[in-house]
Structures are given as C-alpha cells and as structure tokens.
Amino acid sequence: MTHSFLALAFQEPQSDLPMWIIIAVVLVLLFFVVLIIGVGLTIFFVARKRSKARKLQANSARVMSSGPGPSSYEGMPPPEIPQAAVVFDAPPPAFETPPPLPEPNVASVPEGAFDPADSGAAEFDPSRTVAVTREKTVAITYGSIKFTSGVLAGQQFDVKPEGSYIGRESSLSQIVVSDPRISKRHLWIGVRDSVVKIVDQDSRNGTFINDPKSERVTEATLNSGDTVILGESDVARFEYEA
C-alpha cells in the first residue's frame, strides 16, 4: 500500500509538467502571432498612406503640367467672322479756297503807333551786365553811455545788443572801472526785449538810478537821460543817451 501511494505521488507531478509546458508554448506562440499581425497591419497602413500620397502628388503634377494641347483644337472649326456691311460715306465736299485777305494799308497807320523796334526787348544787350543796386540798410543803434565821474570820466561806450559787463576785473568785464569800491563784475548793460536794461550783478555797494539815496536797483529799464550811479559813495556814474 505504501509503495502504491508513493508511486501515485511521484506520477502526478510528472503528468502535470508537460501540461504547463504546452500552455507556455501556446502562449508564446500566440504572442508572436499577435506581434506579427500587429507589425503586418502597421506596415500595411504605412504603405497605404505612402501610396495615397504618391498618387496625390502624381495627380497634382499631372494637372499642373497638362494643358490644352494643340490636338484638342484640331477638330474644332474656325470661328465664323461676321462680315461687316460695307458702308460708303458720301465724299467730302471739295475744299474751297478762302478769298484773299485785304492787304493792310501802310499809309493808314498813324504816327506814334506801337513799333516793335521801339520796345524794350529790342534794346536788350546780352553782352552787357546790368548792376543791381541794393537798398541801404540802416543799422539799429541802442544809444551810448558816457561817464561823468570816476576814473572813466569823459569816456563814452556804445550799448551793444548782446550786452557788456562793467566792473573792476578786466577778465570779467568789458568796461573796466579800476576802483576797489567797484565789484569785480558790478553791472550788466545791454538789450532785452528791444529795450536797454541794466542788471546789478549782486555788487557789494549797489547800483542806483539818478539818486544815490534811492533804493538799490537789481534790474531796470533805462530811458534817455537817465544817470546810473555805481556804489553808495558815488564812485562812478554814467549817463545814458538813446
């Protein structure tokens, strides 16, 4: 009995082993079959798309290159040209010679009438150069100043449109008043808005008009006859004349 059970125990695994092998082989075969079918379908669809693309390209090239050849017109009859009715117009009338114009009577021209020979065009001489005279332009002047006291007494200076500086330092002023009571750049005088003006340059002793006891001037318009005083102690003064 014991031997029979042992035999059965060893026989069952031997009978099951070939079945698993068969199943595994079948599965592997099925996998390869499915794989081959998938690859085949892929190749088929790719080839089909390529063939369609080639056909489309060939058709488009054929349409572009093809045109109505001469053979397509061989069987067609030529178009009929309608014959136009010939209309003969009446001949134009013969040209009639106009009657001759009466000759002008030279004797009837009164004296003093227009004569082309007397015009200015006849007097033009191309070899002669005519001088063009320019109108004289009058320079605009803005008057002058004349010192009546100080180191520059008696000297006169023209008022420039761009202006001039008055002071004791020659490198900073165009009109130099050599006096220590005058600032290095004491006063500016020039033209602004078409009028003559003076502008004090923050001088120490100030600038006054007509009266040294009046208030200091920072900027003022000069009228003809005004007297400008430099410094409270009346260091120098000048008179403006337009």
Asked whether residue 113 is domain-assigned, the answer is no
> Quick one: which of 238, 237, 231, 188 has its CA closest to 213?
231
* pLDDT digit string, tens, across residues 183-228: 999 999 999 999 999 999 999 999 999 999 999 999 999 999 999 9
Q: Which of 41-55, 87-101, 166-180 has the lowest mean pLDDT?
A: 87-101
Distances (CA, A) of 107 to 102, 110, 143, 183: 14, 8, 71, 94
Asked whether residue 111 is domain-assigned, the answer is no
**162/142 Cα distance (integer angstroms):** 11
Query: Full-prediction pTM beyond 0.85?
Result: no
* pLDDT digit string, tens, across residues 11-62: 554 445 578 888 888 898 999 998 999 888 888 888 888 888 888 887 777 7
Q: Which of 29-33, 77-81, 128-132, 215-219 has the lowest mean pLDDT?
A: 77-81
- The chain-wide mean pLDDT, for the chain, equals 79
Give Cα 39 to chain centroid, integer Å.
68
**Over pLDDT 70: what percentage of the chain?**
66
The answer to whether 190 touches 161, Cβ cutoff 8 Å, is yes
Q: In this structure, what token pair is assigned to residue 106?
A: 């030279």
**211/227 Cα distance (integer angstroms):** 8
Helix (H, G, I), strand (E, B) or coil at 117: helix
Domain count, the chain: 2
* Per-residue pLDDT, 150: 93
Helix (H, G, I), strand (E, B) or coil at 52: helix
Asked whether residue 107 is domain-assigned, the answer is no
**209/224 Cα distance (integer angstroms):** 12
Give strand pairing partners of 201. none
Confidence tier at 122 by pLDDT (50, 70, 90): low
Asked whether residue 70 is domain-assigned, the answer is no
Helix (H, G, I), strand (E, B) or coil at 10: helix
> Quick one: which of 144, 172, 115 has its CA closest to 238?
144
The CATH number of residue 198's host domain is: 2.60.200.20
Asked whether residue 160 is domain-assigned, the answer is yes
Helix (H, G, I), strand (E, B) or coil at 239: strand
Distances (CA, A) of 83 to 33, 79, 80, 86, 187: 83, 12, 9, 9, 107
Domain that holds residue 38: 18-54
Q: How many CB atoms lie within 10 A of CB 198?
A: 22
Asked whether residue 169 is domain-assigned, the answer is yes
Asked whether residue 235 is domain-assigned, the answer is yes
* Per-residue pLDDT, 69: 53
Asked whether residue 138 is domain-assigned, the answer is no
